[in-house]
């Protein structure tokens, strides 16, 4: 029987017209399309409008994720989705906080409603990932908004404590690690933070940020593989902020995608038994 790593790498390398992977390839394309269409549909909607359209849109997104998981296994399905998000630049983190709040409400209802093991597991993972996206967004701005007179350090510290960022973020990390294994949890959390549309980024015009982009990944106390990917993410952010041309951005994003796919493949060797592979 193929391992989760083997299944993942086979799907990543498969061409669009390879009939052996056609069902999953089509579902992955549908999932990306659903996110892109949802991003377009929710733009400019007020809270009332979001309440009308988001439940159906999010159910479609999670439903397609469940279909993919049923074919290749939950862990492989989530890894493939992460690759597709990085490639397409369309992710759950691309949505604004109010939209993700609506997703959270819908996700809670979906967890109660689903009866199959795979559906319940996917719904739980997605709910926890929504939670840590919220916390990373808060932490991003409150933790790094320096030299802004509107947000003095004491006020930002008080808000971090009031929002219970530490407790909530660690709780989601532990939950995902228990469900998917620690290496895959690390890979997905870092990816979800990177894909947040509204997060703090290094400013290449600030000399200190060049130093910080070197130091922060090392202070994560992670493996060389994880650290190199974080360094690549900081470098990519700096290129975007500096106004790099499209060709440079595409090249660097491709390099990041290669590193990320390798990390995911290695992480899939450590997932709990029973969630690694599915039918295909």
- Per-residue tens of pLDDT for the chain, all 280 residues: 689 999 999 999 999 899 999 999 999 999 999 999 999 998 888 888 888 888 899 999 999 999 999 999 999 999 999 999 999 999 999 999 889 988 998 888 887 777 788 988 999 999 999 999 999 999 988 887 777 788 888 999 999 999 999 999 999 999 999 999 999 999 999 999 999 998 888 777 788 888 888 898 999 889 999 999 999 999 999 889 889 999 999 999 999 999 999 999 999 999 998 776 554 4
Assign 3-state DSSP to the chain and report helix, strand, coil percentages, each to 5: 80, 0, 20
Question: What integer pLDDT is reported at residue 214 of this predicted model?
Answer: 86
Q: Do the beta carbons of residue 129 and residue 188 sit within 8 Å? A: yes
Contact 25, 18 (CB under 8 A): yes
Asked if 165 and 140 count as a contact pair (C-beta separation under 8 A), the reply is: no
* SS3 of the chain: CCCHHHHHHHHHHCCCCCHHHHHHHHHHHHHHHHHHHHHHHHCCCCHHHHHHHHHHHHHHHHHHHHHHHHHHCHHHHHHHHHHHHHHHCCCHHHCCHHHHHHHHHHHHHHHHHCCCHHHHHHHHHHHHHHHHHHHHHHHHHHHHCCCCCCCCHHHHHHHHHHCCHHHHHHHHHHHHHHHHCHHHHHHHHHHHHHCCCCCCCCCCCCHHHHHHHHHHHHCCCCCHHHHHHHHHHHHHHHHHHCCCCHHHHHHHHHHHHHHHHHHHHHHHHHCCCCCCCCCC
SS3 196: coil
CA dihedral 99→105→107→108, nearest 10 degrees, is 160
Q: State the DSSP code for 16.
A: T
Q: CA-to-CA distance for 89 and 204, rounded, in angstroms? A: 22
Contacts of 160 (CB under 8 A, 6+ apart): 138, 139, 142, 143, 166
Contacts of 218 (CB under 8 A, 6+ apart): 227
Structural tokens at position 143: 């933790």
- Helix (H) or strand (E) holding 147, with range, is none
Give the per-residue pLDDT at 280.
44
């Amino acid at each position: 029987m193929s391992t989760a790593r083997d299944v993942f790498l086979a799907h990543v390398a498969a061409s669009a017209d390879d009939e052996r992977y056609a069902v999953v390839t089509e579902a992955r394309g549908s999932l990306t399309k659903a996110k892109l269409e949802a991003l377009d549909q929710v733009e400019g909607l007020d809270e009332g409008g979001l309440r009308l359209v988001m439940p159906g849109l999010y159910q479609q997104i999670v439903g397609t994720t469940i279909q993919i998981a049923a074919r290749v296994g939950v862990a492989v399905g989530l890894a493939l989705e992460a690759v597709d998000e990085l490639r397409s630049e369309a992710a759950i983190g691309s949505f604004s906080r109010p939209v993700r709040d609506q997703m959270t409400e819908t996700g809670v209802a979906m967890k109660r409603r689903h009866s199959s093991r795979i559906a319940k597991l996917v719904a739980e993972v997605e709910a926890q990932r929504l939670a840590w996206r919220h916390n990373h967004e808060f932490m991003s701005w409150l933790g790094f908004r320096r030299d802004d007179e509107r947000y003095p350090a004491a006020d930002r510290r008080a808000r971090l404590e009031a929002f219970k960022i530490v407790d909530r973020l660690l709780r989601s990390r532990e939950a995902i690690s228990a469900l998917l294994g620690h290496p895959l949890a690390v890979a997905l959390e870092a990816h979800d933070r990177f894909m947040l549309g509204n997060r703090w980024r290094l400013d290449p015009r600030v000399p200190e940020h060049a130093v910080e982009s070197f130091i922060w990944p090392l202070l994560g106390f992670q493996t060389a593989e994880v650290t190199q990917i974080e360094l690549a993410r900081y470098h990519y952010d700096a290129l975007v902020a500096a106004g790099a041309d499209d060709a440079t951005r595409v090249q660097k994003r491709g390099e990041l995608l290669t590193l990320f796919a390798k990390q995911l493949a290695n992480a899939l060797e450590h997932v709990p038994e029973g969630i690694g592979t599915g039918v295909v």
